[in-house]
Amino acid sequence: MLFLRFSAIGLLCGVVLVPLAWIQRGDEFEHLRLAALMGLDVAQVVTVPIALAVGAWKVRPWSKRPRPSPPGFVLGGVTFAFGVLVMTQAMATTSWLEGRPSGVGDPDGESFMAMLAVLSGGVTLLISAVILINRSVALRRSRKVSYAAYGAVT
């Protein structure tokens, strides 16, 4: 679960680096959306490995600190919403690029970047779903009453 936690944090932190990887060619909203998705793809290539390296360093076996708690509903919910946003915007951009719009330099390359953003949104949705399901199961297990503790025969 810690791998999923730090993967989700890395995917979410990609938003911070989007302005550094900004390449916008046109003035329309579709060009703005394409530039944001391309920046997000590039930023996530940088932030996910960094988050995983920091996570591996934090949970090293020789550490005297206790392991972090498993990810909860807040991280799962925010990651789910982010995945839905990225995936819907990437799918809209992909359909826009299929029409061969004007002002796009390399439609095939930018279509690949949009499909990569769809894949990124799908992976983000998958990670968030696993986090939410695992946390729900853990919560349900913690609330079960043990009849053996009350002296009942099972």
* Residue 83 confidence (pLDDT) above 60: yes
Q: Which two tokens stand for residue 126?
A: 């998958």
Residue from 29, 36, 150 nearest 90 by CA = 36
Q: How far apart are CA 129 and CA 80, in angstroms?
A: 7
- In 59-142, which ranges are continuous DSSP H helix? 73-97, 107-142
Query: Hey, what amino acid is at 55?
Result: G
Angle at 90 between CA 86 and CA 93, to 5 degrees: 145
Evaluate if residue 153 carries a pLDDT over 70: no
Integer angstrom CA distances of residue 141 from 4, 68, 145: 21, 19, 9
Q: What is the pLDDT of residues 36-67, one digit of tens each?
A: 898 899 899 999 999 989 888 877 776 676 66
**In which residue are the tokens 């809209």 written?**
92
Does pTM surpass 0.75? yes
